[in-house]
Structure 1
Amino acid sequence: MSGLRAHIGSFTSEGGPGIVTASVEAGTGALTAVHTTDSVADPSFLTVDAPRGVLYTVTETAAGAAAALRLTGDGLALAGAAVPVDGVSPTHLALAGAHLLTANYGSGSVSVLPLDADGLLDGPARVLRHEGGGPNAARQEGPHAHWVHPDPTGAWVLSVDLGTDSVRVCVIGDDGALSVHDETRLRPGSGPRHLVFHPRGHRAYVVNELDPTVTVLGWDADTGRLSPLGETPILPKDVAADTEAYASGIAVSADGRFLYTAIRGHDSVSVLALDDTGDELDLVANVHCGGRWPRALTLDPQGTHLYVANQHSGDVTWFALDEAMGVPSRSGALAVPAASCVVFS
């Protein structure tokens, strides 16, 4: 395999093809599908361990599981059976040393699966179950873990819970079990979904699904504690209050100048400029996502293009980024029914 590859997850239960691998044209960022595998059900979120040549995926079903696939030539090959995560509807996953983490939305829990020396999955899962709820009776009747990832130092594991309006900071013990070190409460009813760290690692940004905003938090890696610093709307001021709008993905540029979020319903991508401290965010633009219901977005490794997975219109749209202002300009799209995320290898 030569050149950059994009791997696109999709919901097979909604007619998606599984995982589509596409070549990425240098310069233009254009995608061309080269391989598809439907060996995993509902592979809605993916991550790649490039040095080991392994791609990991959740299977976002009631009987939640995770699976490993080998990067082979232009495609992927399933590397063993999917391993149960002992959680319902895992929506996100991340690597943490010799472990794979999953955030299980349906059961409000985070699972830890061990990896063998080749990066393949083992079990059983160790599970940390969140507790609590929020004021939105329809969406926050209980915990709903939506994102999990190590901090930039690798010493801590953070999990974002939409149902409890909070971010937990955890440690992984020698036995692979997670334990909660601290829990940071965000604004009640905000519905935090995903988190990214500033490239300098001193700030974290949480995109809130239920009230489209970004919360800025200070991060102290020495003590493992977050401190809320402010909140910024990601919709234009002239949007009607009853507009359907559910924020989803978030990404930050490698130079720390721009933050991007996707908003479903409003079907837009917001562009926020960051000041030198990383504390202040200024909404500079909202552009159409190129389709309907943008579930996730990501920057390519070079930071020159933005890719948006539009679930309901069934496509991945790519945008060239203006170097000075960071504003995306639509360049093209690849049809992928029920697209859910994009990662690169």
Structure 2
Amino acid sequence: MGGSGAVRPMRAYIGSFTSAGGDGITTAAVDPGSGALTPLHSAGAVPDPSFLAVAPGGDVLYAVSETESGAVAAFGLTRDAERRPVPRDTAPVRGRGPTHLAVADGHLLVANYGSGSVTTLPLRADGTFDRGGHVLRHEGEGPHPERQGAPHAHAVLPDPTGRWVLSVDLGTDSVRICVLDPAAGALALHHEVHLAPGSGPRHLAFHPRGDRAYVINELTPTLTTCRWDGDAGELVPVTETAVLTETAVLPEAEGEATHPSEVVIAPDGRFAWTANRGHDSITVLALDPAGDRPHRVGQVPCGGRWPRHLTLDPAGGRLYAANERSGDVTWFDVDPVTGMPLRAGSVPAPAASCVVFC
């Protein structure tokens, strides 16, 4: 985090759907001992800020505006203890329904679900948007009759080396590996990797070692493990693991389809966790030393309904689930030996969709 004075207290930023009664972006204090969240204030300056990202340095917060027209917003974080987001800039993404974003090499990367594209926006030194940018449009479709009639980019992020950009497309059952030209601000396709037909890949997380990637699939409750070569920019699917058992149905979710939403990898690479909407659970998977064969070891309730996002705190000892339909954020202490989450508390957060820390 920026600044040269005393250490700033940690803050959590909760994104939510304003169209469903959410408060926009809520700032919460984080208790350093218990991990408990205490909401401080909310800002509804942007409609439907469903996904957030903090810039390197911790002084700028970015949000998508998951609307039909599609936009992103930059917020400066005040340097006092409040760490309040102050609106600084907005920009169109020239795409529909943006759902995910990340910062890479002086650019903001945005995945546009509705239009099946990825936008790159150059950033100024103060974190605002330099006009221009580039849109890479995905092509293709998948076998699911309702969800895969066209491309649907759902996530975009740089790889651990910083040399590549990966975009995950639910509509085409594929992950695209791209090269970012920082001078032109454009993405060029290097390779497209196809996953299981009808799986609907949604998000991707890297092993801390940097040589494995894990793709959570929305249309089938599975996790695809891939080997990643950061020198060559090659992604090779290795195994596919079911994140649920047929008998592990929670009573409150009976009859509703399961849609996994997120995968999180432990900082030491020993565990993976997935959030499962409909089933309203968190699955725990143990990773072997190579990271190739996740083994399902258990599930726990997510603490609410429809966990849209799951994340670890910066120390890696607690999980936070943003439960969209029950309108809360629930946190869990993670057993360091078994990886099992133990519910520790929750806070109301209407239409919660994302939690990030700074």
Structures share a fold, TM > 0.5? yes
Which of residues 261, 277, 285 in structure 2 aligns to 1:248?
261
* CA deviation after TM superposition for structure 1 residue 244, in Å: 1.1
- SS in structure 2 of the partner of residue 235 of structure 1: coil
Partner of 1:140: 148
Which of residues 117, 124, 127 in structure 1 aligns to 2:132?
124
Partner of 1:184: 193
* CA deviation after TM superposition for structure 1 residue 146, in Å: 0.2
Tell me the alpha carbon deviations over residues 258-277 of structure 1, each in whole angstroms, 9 at most, x when there is no partner. Answer: 10110100000001000111
Is 1:230 the counterpart of 2:243? The answer is: no
CA distance in 1 between partners of 2:32 and 2:168 (Å) = 35
Aligned alpha-carbon RMSD (Å)? 1.3
Is 1:269 the counterpart of 2:282? The answer is: yes
- SS in structure 2 of the partner of residue 189 of structure 1: coil
Partner of 2:94: 86
CA distance in 1 between partners of 2:199 and 2:247 (Å) = 20
Tell me the alpha carbon deviations over residues 224-278 of structure 1, each in whole angstroms, 9 at most, x when there is no partner. Answer: 0100100000012424797510000111010000101101000000010001111
Partner of 1:153: 161
Is 1:330 the counterpart of 2:343? The answer is: yes
- Quickly say closer, same or farther: Cα 1:58–1:19, change in 2 above 3 A: same
Which amino acid is the alignment partner of residue 93 of structure 1? Answer: L
The percentage of aligned residue pairs carrying the same residue is 58
- Is 1:65–1:84's contact at 8 Å kept on the other side of the alignment? yes
- Quickly say closer, same or farther: Cα 1:50–1:24, change in 2 above 3 A: farther
Which of residues 184, 207, 211 in structure 2 aligns to 1:202?
211
Partner of 1:42: 48
Partner of 1:66: 72
- SS in structure 2 of the partner of residue 79 of structure 1: strand
Which amino acid is the alignment partner of residue 194 of structure 1? Answer: H
CA distance in 1 between partners of 2:255 and 2:266 (Å) = 31
Which of residues 18, 29, 53 in structure 2 aligns to 1:23?
29
TM-score (norm 1): 0.98
Partner of 2:121: 113
CA distance in 1 between partners of 2:275 and 2:24 (Å) = 22
TM-score (norm 2): 0.94
- SS in structure 1 of the partner of residue 166 of structure 2: strand
**Runs of 5+ in structure 2 lacking a partner?**
1-6
Partner of 1:308: 321
CA distance in 2 between partners of 1:154 and 1:5 (Å) = 26
- Is 1:83–1:122's contact at 8 Å kept on the other side of the alignment? no
Which amino acid is the alignment partner of residue 228 of structure 1? Answer: P
CA distance in 2 between partners of 1:340 and 1:77 (Å) = 20
CA distance in 1 between partners of 2:129 and 2:123 (Å) = 5
Which amino acid is the alignment partner of residue 218 of structure 2? Answer: E
Is 1:341 the counterpart of 2:354? The answer is: yes
- SS in structure 2 of the partner of residue 13 of structure 1: helix
Is 1:296 the counterpart of 2:309? The answer is: yes
Which amino acid is the alignment partner of residue 209 of structure 1? Answer: E
Larger mean Cα displacement after TM superposition, 160-169 or 66-75:
66-75
Q: How many residues align?
A: 344
Is 1:10 the counterpart of 2:19? The answer is: no
Larger mean Cα displacement after TM superposition, 232-241 or 5-14:
232-241
